[in-house]
Amino acid sequence: MDRETAEPHVESLPGERARQWVEHHQHHAATSTFVYEFVWDFTAPAIGPFCTDVDGNVLMDFASHVASSPLGYNNPKIMDRLEEFGPIDPAKIAGQDFYAAGGGLPDDPDVPGPTQLQDRLIDITDHYGMDTVFLSNSGAEAIENAIKICYDHVGGRHGITFKGAFHGRTMGALSLNRSKAVHRRGFPEIASVESIPYCENASCDGSSCTCGFLRPEAGEEAPRRRKRRTSRPDEVPSETLTSALDAMLNPKRGNLDPDDVSYVIVEPIQGEGGYRFPSPAFMDEMESVLERYDVPLIVDEIQTGLGRTGEMWGADHYSIEPDVITSAKALRVGATISREGVFPDETGRISSTWGGGDLLAALQGVLTIDAIQEHDLLSNARKRGEQFKQRIREEDPDFVEDVRGKGLMLAIEFDSRPRRDAVVHAAFERGLLTLGCGFRTLRILPPLDVTAREIELGADLLLEAFADSDVGDVEREFDADEVI
């Protein structure tokens, strides 16, 4: 398959083979979410955003496996390096109990592994002063370890999350979710997790806030990046409450003792909640309050991290200063990143048999970071993201209420959920894979090295889907946004 000339080609979706695979797979699989009956044939030709299904249909993947395939399929930026290394067994080791070396010395190994992945992660979080990493298998595990180390570090009982948040499906992470009831309904939760509004207007300030987070006095002056204090100063709290967070923590008028709050956890851009891009005023105010009361900030970069937004981290767009960063998806493994003083120093306090022990995934993580930096993919993400937004905005369909995004984390908001779902299906029928999120939002996630030709091709297919999206034809056999 030649990436420079490849185009989607669809005979029938789903085809007969795909139907057989789906039926067979679901015979023993637990009930889960499948947006469409697409069965990728990983033995068939695929390159960049183009892949082939089991019936020979060629599709264009602008979902990137929910941001978990940052460079698309069989990308030579990764594959050429992987081919230098032969297969090994076991490829997965007990990473917290054993060391593994790929030959050579740690600063110049023949084959990079978990040790070098940690080094790369510290390099790209150096501007936040981070120096310590705990590797794991998944984003949910990264979240679990983030909240554990903050509870251990602070000793408080409370955590604070945001309305619309999604942080994973393990029991601790579920307690932080505020996006859909189905995620946590009926499951026991961590006690004392509070929630506050998340910004719903990227251009708002204190005087125009509609979500309820900011008060008119907020957002007047952006704070400088802070260095965490080791103890809170004896300062008299203001009588004026500047935000919902301040109202919760203010010693005179709040309902939580800041000393009893172990963390605030935030997505720099909400993913499952609807690709909600917050305003600088929202982030400035949060940073100011956290500095005032010395409360640790966990930034969930599982979907936004590693270049998706046109910066290495979503937090890099704002004034916030993370104390802990969680990463996964594009990284290929889970990672909890912080400062040595935040992590427990007691042996066995955190551990995991498979933590960081997937040698292939760690190697892929190293190569992904290297590719982003060596090929200037942050710049490409910004340029191609602007190209896509401009192309869709030029058409200005009546039923499209907003086109937004940073880098290649892109969203289109429709006038109704049925319209969004109809577009997902109409695009699929043309060989374009997309995903929903929130209530009526479509998310677009091309590979980070997507070309101008591919953006134009994908936008054309999507605009065709707009024209053919009859909301009356949508079969409610799927939930276009019920994915991670």
User: If you average pLDDT over residues 318-337, what whole number do you get?
Assistant: 97
User: If you average pLDDT over residues 10-19, what whole number do you get?
Assistant: 94
Hey, is 52 helix, strand or coil?
strand
The confidence score (pLDDT) of residue 362 equals: 94
User: If you average pLDDT over residues 345-366, what whole number do you get?
Assistant: 90
The confidence score (pLDDT) of residue 478 equals: 46
Query: Per residue in 413-447, pLDDT tens?
Result: 999 999 999 999 999 999 999 999 999 999 999 99
pTM over 0.85: yes
Going by their DSSP bridges, the two strands 158-162 and 193-196 should be labelled as parallel
Confidence band, pLDDT 50/70/90 cuts, at residue 234: low
Confidence band, pLDDT 50/70/90 cuts, at residue 239: low
The confidence score (pLDDT) of residue 260 equals: 96
More confident residue, 238 or 450: 450
Q: Which of 92-106, 146-160, 281-295 has the lowest mean pLDDT?
A: 92-106
Residues in the chain: 484
User: If you average pLDDT over residues 295-316, what whole number do you get?
Assistant: 98
The confidence score (pLDDT) of residue 218 equals: 57
Q: Which of 68-82, 264-278, 314-328, 469-483 has the lowest mean pLDDT?
A: 469-483
User: If you average pLDDT over residues 257-284, what whole number do you get?
Assistant: 96
The confidence score (pLDDT) of residue 186 equals: 87
Tokens of 461: 């297919």
Contacts 24+ apart (CB under 8 A), 230-234: 231/294, 232/258, 232/259, 232/293, 232/294
Confidence band, pLDDT 50/70/90 cuts, at residue 264: very high
User: If you average pLDDT over residues 164-171, what whole number do you get?
Assistant: 94
Domain borders along the chain are 16-61+376-473, 104-374
The confidence score (pLDDT) of residue 237 equals: 56
The confidence score (pLDDT) of residue 72 equals: 97
The confidence score (pLDDT) of residue 310 equals: 98
Q: What residues contact residue 383 under an 8 Å CB cut-off, 6+ apart?
A: none
CATH of domain 104-374: 3.40.640.10
- Please give the mean pLDDT across all residues of the chain: 91
Query: Per residue in 248-260, pLDDT tens?
Result: 999 888 999 999 9
Burial 99-113 (b: 16+ CB within 10 A, else e): ebebeeeeeeeebbb
Measured between alpha carbons, how far is 404 from 388 in angstroms, rounded to an integer? 10
What percent of the chain has pLDDT above 90? 76
Confidence band, pLDDT 50/70/90 cuts, at residue 479: low
Measured between alpha carbons, how far is 242 from 285 in angstroms, rounded to an integer? 8
Q: Which of 110-119, 289-298, 346-355, 454-463 has the lowest mean pLDDT?
A: 346-355
Confidence band, pLDDT 50/70/90 cuts, at residue 326: very high
DSSP string, 300-346: E-TTTTTTTTSSSSGGGGSS---SEEEE-GGGSSEEEEE-TTTS--S
The confidence score (pLDDT) of residue 95 equals: 80
Q: What residues contact residue 417 under an 8 Å CB cut-off, 6+ apart?
A: 439, 440
Query: Per residue in 83-133, pLDDT tens?
Result: 888 778 888 888 877 888 989 999 999 999 999 999 999 999 999 999 999
The confidence score (pLDDT) of residue 481 equals: 54
Measured between alpha carbons, how far is 391 from 69 in angstroms, rounded to an integer? 24
Confidence band, pLDDT 50/70/90 cuts, at residue 477: very low
Q: Which fold has domain 16-61+376-473?
A: Aspartate Aminotransferase, domain 1 (3.90.1150)
Q: Which of 21-30, 398-407, 465-474 has the lowest mean pLDDT?
A: 465-474
The confidence score (pLDDT) of residue 383 equals: 98
CA 206 to chain centre: 27
Query: Per residue in 185-225, pLDDT tens?
Result: 888 889 899 999 999 999 998 788 889 999 876 555 544 44
Measured between alpha carbons, how far is 158 from 142 in angstroms, rounded to an integer? 19
Of 77, 3, 81, 75, nearest to 371 by C-alpha is 77
